[in-house]
């Protein structure tokens, strides 16, 4: 097992290296010039050239890449072209809101979706099953920003229960932190509730037909015991896979949510940096996301062994 984990971790090195080269090349070739954006509307060609030279943007591709990659291996992601702050500092400022949003969203989604999926499978073909599946379809179909605006209008503007926007760090109190995240997390969780509920239902339907479930029922096991102890554990492998992939997909969903609810997270930083061509920031974020994605995949694979003892690496 430990050999497998080591092998998997080592296999991330070429992946991350490839991402580094690919992202750097892509940004190098992409149109747009941060020096021109920085200089503003009144700048002359000479102003732009001077700024480009000052920022080192006039140097060749290999020189810039080697310098950047060298910095990465020393734990230095460089400096933002625009704010002149260390990229590491900028990213650290933005990690907490994004991670908080993901944690609360996933928690909400799991708490709601798994019982929904199990119930739908248990009451297959009933009105309840149809209602749950209709909710799942809506969760997939309605764009998150529409859900966001509607929820904000009702819960924040009309009822005044929740703030419209902004993020309160967890250090300032658990309730203020959570209160600010309920709206964005509820908005973002719709898609995941739908996804996880459908997968749970489909998997549970298959498992509920298995012989060992029939045996458990024949032995007189209670309904909830059959459902949650015998069936659900064996249904967890596909659910965990979907949750894991969902975390990766959530990064793109977070961009919209962070914009709508003014959360200062990594998603917004990514978009802002792309629009203004802040190369060091874009490169660092993509690199971090790639690494996180690889690690999540590894954790999903490892979790299978805990869920299903028959799986061995």
Partner 1 sequence: MITRRTLLGAAAASPLLSLPSLAQNKTKVLRYVPSSNLTVLDPIFTPAAVSITHGYCVFDTLYGMDANLQPVPQMAAGHTVSDDGLTWEITLRDGLMFHDGEPVRAQDCAASLDRWSKRDGFGQALGAATESFSAKDDKTIVIKLTRPFGRLLHAIGKPHSSPAMIMPERLAKTDISEQVTEMVGSGPFRFVADEYVSGDRMVYEKFEGYVPRDEAAAWTSGGKIVNFDRLIWQVIPDPATSAAAIQAGEVDWVAGVLPDLAPIMEAHPDVDLFRQDPFGLVSVMRFNHLQAPFDNVEVRRAVMKAIDQTPYMQAVTAAEANRSECLASFPCGLPGVNELGEGLINSLDLEGAKEALKAAGYNGERVVILNPTDIASIHPHGLITADILKKIGMNVDLQDTDWGTVVQRRVSKEPVDNGGWSIAHTNWPAISIDNPATNATTRGLGEKGWWGWFQDDEMEQTVADWLSAGSDEEAQQLFDKAHARALDQVPTVPLGQTFQDGAVRTNLKGLLQASVSLFWNVDRA
Nearer to partner 1, 82 or 289 (CB): 82
**How many Å apart are CA 117 and CA 196, to the nearest integer?**
7
Per-position x/- string for 267-296, each x denoting binding to partner 1 as judged by CB under 8 A, each - no binding: -xx--x--xxx-------------------
Q: Looking at beta carbons only, is 71 or 86 nearer to partner 1?
A: 86
For residues 150-169, which are near partner 1 according to CB under 8 A?
A: 152-153, 156-157, 160, 163-167
- Of 22, 25, 45, whose CA–CA distance to 35 is shortest? 45
Binding mask 27-66 for partner 1 (x = CB under 8 A): ----xxx--xxxxxxx-xxxxx-xx-xx------------
DSSP string, 66-93: HHHHHHHHTT---B-TTT-SBHHHHHHH
Two tokens, residue 220: 């007189």
CB of 90 to partner 1, least distance (A): 7
Among 27, 69, 72, 170, binds partner 1 (CB under 8 A): 170
Q: How far is CA 111 from CA 24, 105, 120, in A?
A: 40, 10, 15
* H/E run at residue 97: helix 87-122
Q: Is 142 in the site for partner 1 (CB under 8 A)?
A: no
- DSSP state, residue 42: T
What distance separates the 2 farthest-apart alpha carbons in the chain?
A: 85
Binding mask 96-135 for partner 1 (x = CB under 8 A): ----------------------------------------
Contact 276/37 with Cβ under 8 angstroms?
Answer: yes
Q: How far is the CB of 214 from partner 1 (least distance, A)?
A: 48
Q: In angstroms, what is the minimal distance from the CB of 193 to partner 1?
A: 23
**Which residue, among 265, 235, 237, has the nearest Cα to 250 in the 3D structure?**
265
> Is the separation of the CB atoms in 148 and 187 below 8 Å?
yes
Chain residues that interact with partner 1, rule: CB under 8 A: 31-33, 36-42, 44-48, 50-51, 53-54, 80, 82-85, 90, 93-94, 149, 152-153, 156-157, 160, 163-167, 170-174, 259-262, 264, 268-269, 272, 275-277
């Amino acid at each position: 097992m430990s050999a497998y984990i080591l092998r998997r971790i080592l296999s991330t090195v070429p992946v991350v290296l490839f991402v580094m080269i690919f992202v750097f090349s892509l940004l190098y070739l992409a149109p747009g010039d941060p020096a021109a954006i920085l200089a503003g509307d009144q700048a002359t060609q000479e102003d732009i050239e001077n700024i480009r030279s000052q920022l080192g943007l006039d140097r060749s591709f290999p020189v810039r890449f080697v310098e950047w990659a060298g910095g990465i291996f020393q734990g230095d992601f460089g400096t933002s072209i625009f704010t002149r702050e260390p990229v590491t500092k900028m990213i650290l400022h933005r990690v907490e809101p994004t991670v908080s949003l993901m944690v609360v969203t996933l928690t909400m989604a799991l708490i709601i979706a798994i019982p929904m999926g199990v119930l739908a499978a248990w009451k297959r073909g009933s009105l309840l099953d149809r209602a749950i599946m209709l909710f799942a379809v809506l969760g997939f179909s309605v764009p998150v920003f529409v859900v966001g605006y509607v929820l904000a209008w009702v819960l924040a503007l009309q009822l005044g229960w929740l703030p419209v926007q902004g993020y309160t760090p967890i250090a300032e109190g658990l309730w203020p932190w959570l209160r600010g995240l309920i709206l964005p997390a509820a908005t973002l969780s719709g898609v995941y509730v739908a996804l996880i509920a459908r997968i749970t239902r489909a998997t549970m339907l298959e498992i509920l037909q298995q012989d060992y479930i029939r045996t458990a029922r024949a032995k007189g096991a209670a309904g909830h015991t059959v459902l949650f102890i015998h069936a659900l554990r064996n249904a967890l492998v596909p659910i965990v896979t979907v949750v894991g992939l969902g975390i990766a997909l959530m990064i793109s969903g977070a961009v919209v949510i962070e914009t709508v609810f003014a959360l200062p997270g990594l998603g917004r930083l990514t978009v802002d940096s792309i629009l203004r061509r802040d190369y060091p920031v874009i490169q660092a974020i993509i690199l971090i996301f790639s690494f996180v994605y690889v690690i999540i995949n590894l954790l999903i694979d490892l979790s299978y062994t805990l869920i299903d003892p028959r799986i061995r690496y």
